[in-house]
């Protein structure tokens, strides 16, 4: 594979970071990132039996930047794809996980940028085995300094369900580990309880199940509610340990939890009209950026997980102008720019391209006047540039220190 520098350079110069008043507002702060397993945006401000599914997140977003039109861009690599997009701002592969398939590549990762531009120490925290999704190896490649995995936690039958340690004891033990980190640090905490098939002991159920035809969806609201409680506890513990004030928090849903076959039940649960583009719209995941002392606002510009990194870097005062990456700062992202899906589909402010059909987003009607074509071209170009970078391991040729 050859580095098509022409295309890439043209691409990079077209996406210069725009200035905003927010540039550098979180400079030098610790970064705490929370990957919320299978958390879709529909749970925000949604109730079951008169009770909020996410009472803590609902209150947090009132004093945060809340991006309510961010789409899950993951493919088969699920959680690892979301991590990959956030750490590299490249797209996942169409099959398998980059974490498993390309762990020996050179990546210009978020962790390296933070180290080079602010002396950050990076750690990831997750209650599953270190080898799952090949994290142990890939984290080295990405420049993480430390991975706290299952062996670093006290995991018992009592404090576990489904894939492993429950989110509350996970966060409790993580805070203990976090106290020992050098500052400034980047800490990524990956939750686990809200994972398919959404199992939960009775004591952990803080809300009644939903009442639809699909037990998966009915259970899902209870595990999301538990996760919300766990995040609330985490914030309380960070506050009481003096670890809250000087920190920027980024919370995001890693990918969908309710798969396509359960979506009719979701439509019923949300009292929505049936629509062919519901499938795409349901793939919205919440993205919340909380900076203590800053007011925040709700931002409804379409974007994707690949855009999280440049947004964070902007707030940390790190320029992203010349980076070989695909994300855009969510504070200035153009609403017509397509949010790229791995299958070639996309969404922007006006259109949804799903299963090779172009829809008018506002009325869900298919359109055949070629409106989607210029965006489809961008989608194809970005995916193929990203694939070239990954398959050709092209970032190893980058001369300048980024």
Residues in the site for ligand GP9, rule: CB under 6 A?
78-79, 126, 128, 132-133, 163, 190, 192, 195
SS3 158: coil
Q: Is 397 exposed, middle or buried (0-12, 13-18, 19+ CB in 10 A)?
A: exposed
Selected range binding Mn ion among 13-21, 70-78, 98-106, 239-247, rule: CB under 5 A: 70-78
Residues 6+ apart with CB under 8 A from 386: 90, 91, 326
Nearest distance in Å: CB 135, ligand GP9 = 7
Instruction: Write out the DSSP string of 236-276.
Output: HHHHHTT-STTEEEEEEE-S-SS-GGGHHHHHHHTTPPP-T
Nearest distance in Å: CB 198, Mn ion = 12
Nearest distance in Å: CB 179, Mn ion = 27
**109 contact, one of Mn ion, ligand GP9, none, CB 5-8 Å limit per kind:** none
74 binds Mn ion, rule: CB under 5 A: no
Tokens of 73: 């861009």
Residue whose CB is less far from ligand GP9, 255 or 314: 255
Residue 284 vs residues 41, 74, 102, 344, 360: alpha-carbon distances, Å:
5, 12, 27, 17, 18
Backbone φ and ψ of 386, nearest 5°: -65, -45
Nearest distance in Å: CB 163, ligand GP9 = 6
Q: Which residue has the tokens 């098939």?
A: 197
Selected range binding Mn ion among 72-80, 172-180, 228-236, 353-361, rule: CB under 5 A: 72-80
Residues 6+ apart with CB under 8 A from 230: 166, 167, 168, 170, 171, 191, 193
79 binds Mn ion, rule: CB under 5 A: yes
**128 contact, one of ligand GP9, Mn ion, none, CB 5-8 Å limit per kind:** ligand GP9
**39 contact, one of Mn ion, ligand GP9, none, CB 5-8 Å limit per kind:** none
* 5 catalytic residue (yes or no): no
Binding site for Mn ion (CB under 5 A): 37, 78-79, 254
Active site residues: 79
């Amino acid at each position: 594979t050859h580095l098509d520098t022409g295309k890439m350079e043209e691409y990079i110069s077209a996406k210069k970071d725009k200035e905003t008043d927010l540039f550098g507002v979180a400079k030098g702060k610790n970064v705490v990132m929370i990957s919320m397993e299978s958390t879709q945006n529909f749970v925000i401000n949604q109730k079951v039996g008169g009770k909020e599914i996410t009472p803590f997140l609902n209150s947090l977003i009132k004093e945060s930047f809340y991006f309510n039109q961010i789409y899950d861009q993951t493919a088969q690599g699920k959680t690892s794809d979301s991590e990959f997009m956030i750490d590299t701002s490249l797209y996942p592969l169409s099959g398998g996980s980059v974490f498993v398939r390309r762990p020996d590549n050179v990546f210009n990762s978020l962790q390296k940028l933070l180290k080079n531009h602010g002396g950050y120490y990076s750690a990831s925290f997750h209650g599953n085995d270190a080898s799952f999704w090949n994290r142990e190896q890939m984290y080295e490649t990405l420049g993480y300094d430390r991975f706290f995995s299952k062996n670093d936690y006290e995991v018992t039958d009592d404090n576990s369900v489904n894939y492993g340690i429950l989110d509350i004891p996970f966060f409790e033990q993580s805070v203990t580990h976090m106290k020992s980190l050098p500052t400034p640090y980047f800490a990524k905490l990956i939750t686990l309880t809200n994972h398919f098939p959404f199992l939960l002991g009775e004591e952990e159920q803080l809300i009644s199940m939903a009442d639809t035809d699909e037990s998966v969806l009915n259970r899902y609201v209870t595990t999301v509610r538990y996760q919300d409680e766990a995040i609330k506890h985490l914030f309380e513990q960070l506050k009481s340990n003096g670890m809250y004030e000087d920190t920027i928090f980024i919370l995001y849903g890693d990918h969908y939890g309710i798969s396509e076959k359960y979506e009719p039940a979701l439509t019923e649960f949300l009292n929505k009209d049936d629509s062919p583009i519901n499938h795409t719209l349901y793939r919205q995941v919440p993205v919340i950026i909380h900076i203590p002392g800053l007011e925040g606002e709700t931002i409804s510009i379409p974007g994707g997980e690949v855009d999280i990194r440049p947004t964070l870097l902007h707030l940390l005062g790190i320029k992203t102008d010349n980076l070989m990456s695909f994300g855009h700062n969510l504070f200035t992202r153009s609403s017509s720019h397509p949010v790229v899906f791995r299958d070639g589909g996309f969404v922007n402010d006006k259109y949804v391209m799903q299963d090779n059909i172009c829809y008018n987003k506002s009325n869900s009607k298919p359109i055949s006047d070629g409106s989607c074509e210029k965006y489809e071209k961008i989608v194809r170009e970005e995916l193929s540039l990203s694939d070239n970078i990954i398959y050709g391991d092209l970032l190893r040729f980058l001369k300048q220190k980024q």
